[in-house]
Structure 1
Amino acid sequence: MKYLKDKAFIDNFGKRLKQIRESKNISQEKLALLTDISQSQIARTELGQINTSISHVSVYSKKLNVDVCEFFDFSNLE
């Protein structure tokens, strides 16, 4: 099976994570404390450098108090 990596999707997810995080006035450091995900991993996710896991999306959703589907709404990205 060929590994598929959709770079545009990964980039957009990272931008959306950052957009949601900033709309809640939460720093990467604070989100790291809330989620037990390292600040460096959050930064790399937001920059589209890594393909985060679905488990991390669930944790972000719970700690940022937004529905999971919000992370995949790319309609308002710059």
Structure 2
Amino acid sequence: MDKNPEIRHNCLIIITAPIAPLNMVLQSNDSDELRNFGNNLRRIRKEKDLSMEALANLAEIELSQIFRIETGKINPKLTTILTIARALGINPKELF
């Protein structure tokens, strides 16, 4: 027993129910968005009858980077998106 009634004890509650960590939820949603972006890029590139290599040359971007963007493996920087849109002759909004 505590000698001083003013002392309070902190209590730790542990939740054992399975809960997905927030970062996993965000990563899942982000990867869906990246795949959608890549699919849009691929569709537009093909509509313009360009190979990945041709787009890479026009945009002065590595071919492997175009591949990784189209497959949703990487999150391109805004400057890369703008460069690709210019190379395709489109408004960047069309990629989203």
Q: TM-score interval w.r.t. the shorter chain?
A: 0.7 to 0.9
- Ranges in structure 1 where 5+ consecutive residues have no aligned partner: 73-78
Structure 1: 4+ residue segments shifted above 6 A: none
Q: Any stretches of 5+ residues in structure 2 without a counterpart?
A: 1-22
* Larger of the two Rg values belongs to structure: 2
Q: TM-score, normalised by structure 2?
A: 0.69
After TM superposition, the structure 1 = structure 2 runs for residues 1-78 of structure 1, keeping only pairs within 5 Å, are 5=27, 6-72=30-96
RMSD: 1.2
What is the aligned-residue identity percentage?
37
Matched positions, count: 70
Q: Which amino acid aligns with 2:62?
A: S
Relative contact order, higher structure (CA 8 A, sep 6+): 1
| Equivalent residue number for residue 75 of structure 1 | none
Q: 1:37 Cα shift?
A: 0.6
> Could you state the TM-score of these two structures normalised by the residue count of structure 1?
0.84
Q: Distance in 1 between matches of 2:58 and 2:84?
A: 9
